Amino acid sequence: MVGIILSLVMLMYLAYRGMSVIWLAPILALFAAIFSAGTPLMASYTEVFMLSAAQYVKLYFPAFLLGAVFGKIMDVSGAAKTIAQVITSRVGANNAILAVVLAVSVLTYGGVSMFVVVFAVYPIAAQIFRDSNVPKRLIPGTIALGSFTFTMTALPGSPQIQNTIAMPFFGTTAYAAPMLGLIGTSTMFGLGMLWLKRREAVARANGEGYGHHLGIDVDDSEEPDTLPSPRRAFIPIVIVLMLNFLLVTFYYPNIEAHYLSDYGSTLQKVKGMWSLIIALTTAIVVALILFRKQIAHAREAINDGGESAIMPIMNTAAAVGFGNVIKSLSSFDSIKEMILSIPGSPLLSFAMSTSLLAGITGSASGGLSIALDALGDIYIQQASNLGISLEALHRIASIACGGLDSLPHNGAVITLLSICGMTHRDSYKDIFVCTLAIPIVATGVVLIFATFGVV
């Protein structure tokens, strides 16, 4: 236990100091293993760390890759900016925070990877905040609310990896437990907006405006001369959502795929990921056709999008590898027993274990993957015995993983602050409230409704 605690503290501290999780994770995983008598170090590295990291990449690289390429195309074509402008014009220029949250939400819910959406939206957010004289330090929290919370884990049908990762385990789809998802969404969006608007009001009362910041806030180097029309800009987003829904709801349930048994799989396990791959690929092709006049260098855009998927998935895979080494240690059995002994519904202990493991790894998807690997079968059995819907397990696990993951060592948090030109001291307080504290509250609210059978 001492080794596990020390390795976790060092991982959070060193990641906070800007060191890469890709090389920190295996070193600190082996550091924890040293404290476990009889644990073979090299086997822990090659047969546990690398094997689990590779398995994660195998399962989820298509979602990362296609999401990143789609996001890049929406960015360089100007479609993302068109969507942001439409939303801003509808809600009013004086509602800078709401405009940015909605713009980010539409893009992430439409399939743009949350790792990519920051690059696409920050220049727009900086312009909107400057025009409205809202403090720049509130931009990271605003973007985080729109991308790292309800669109990531709660909204039914979200193509984000944190919502789709449970599909192979439970045989569910991205639309699992829609009512619970909408309840979680309302809680996170409502409380997040109340917090950010309160912060804006206090800043205005103190006479604080956008501020003077070194460097260029807006980079128009890749912006096309003419932006796509609003109607065309929204078409790829609609395609992702509608095609994904049609495939998982109507097409795949009515086909035979017995051949999958030769691969050790079932249609129930893969239909969600297959639907997402087809939907994103179709949207990419349609976007390239629709925006061909705006995209001067399509090949470069696709290449850049593909390359931008590498670091996020490798960071997460490294976190998964770290967590699986911890899981393999004898002392983890004590942690598992403590989690399983949590009184009450298995929904509660599953939510707590998922959130804790997400905090340990600094990754929502990494923590959820480890929780499913280590405890998923146990909770499926418990749910079956108690008549609890697997859709409810899916939704609660997805929402819960988006809580403690947002500790300072989270890679997405570090990336967001870096792109916005802010520090943890400047903006982490708002990120903490919007993406850690409020999602934990939302998980509690959803648990209450799930206990009464709401799905």
Across 275-303, average pLDDT: 90
Which band of pLDDT confidence, cut at 50, 70 and 90, is reported for residue 136?
very high
Q: Per-residue b/e over 27-45, b at no fewer than 16 CB within 10 Å?
A: ebbbbbbebbeebeeeebb
Tens digits of residue pLDDT in 188-246: 999 999 999 999 999 999 998 887 765 444 444 455 668 899 999 989 888 887 887 78
**How much is the pLDDT for 272?**
73
| Weakest mean pLDDT among 120-134, 258-272, 369-383 | 120-134
Contacts for 34-42: CB closer than 8 Å, 24+ residues apart: 34/3, 35/2, 35/3, 35/4, 35/6, 36/3, 36/329, 36/330, 36/331, 39/328, 39/329, 39/330
> Which residue has 């035979």 as its token pair?
256
pLDDT band at 360 (very low <50, low <70, confident <90, very high): confident
**434 or 161, greater pLDDT:** 434
pLDDT at res. 218: 45
Check: CB of residue 156 under 8 Å from CB of residue 178. yes
Closest by Cα among 341, 350, 338 to 398: 350
pLDDT of residue 178: 93
CB 114 within 8 A of CB 108: yes
Q: pLDDT at position 216, please?
A: 42
Higher pLDDT, 329 or 71: 329
Mean pLDDT along residues 313-337:
80
Q: Is residue 395's pLDDT more than 70?
A: yes
CA 240 to chain centre: 17
Q: 154-158, 196-200, 226-230, 359-363 — which one is most confidently predicted on average?
A: 196-200
Has residue 33 got a pLDDT over 60?
yes
How high is the pLDDT of residue 340? 67
The most confident of the ranges 291-300, 310-319, 336-345 is 291-300
- pLDDT value of residue 215: 45
Between residues 434 and 269, the one the model is more confident about = 434
Q: Residue 161 has what pLDDT? A: 81
Across all residues in the chain, what is the average pLDDT? 84
Closest CA to 335 of 322, 317, 321, 352: 352
pLDDT score of 449: 94
Q: What is the mean pLDDT of residues 403-416?
A: 78
Of 424, 405, 421, 423, nearest to 125 (Cα)?
421
Band of pLDDT at residue 64, cut at 50, 70 and 90:
confident
The phi and psi torsions of 217 (rounded to 5 degrees) equal -80, -35
The stretch 418-444 carries a mean pLDDT of 89
Q: What is the pLDDT of residue 203?
A: 93
- Can you give the pLDDT at residue 219? 46
CA–CA dist 425, 139 (Å, integer): 14
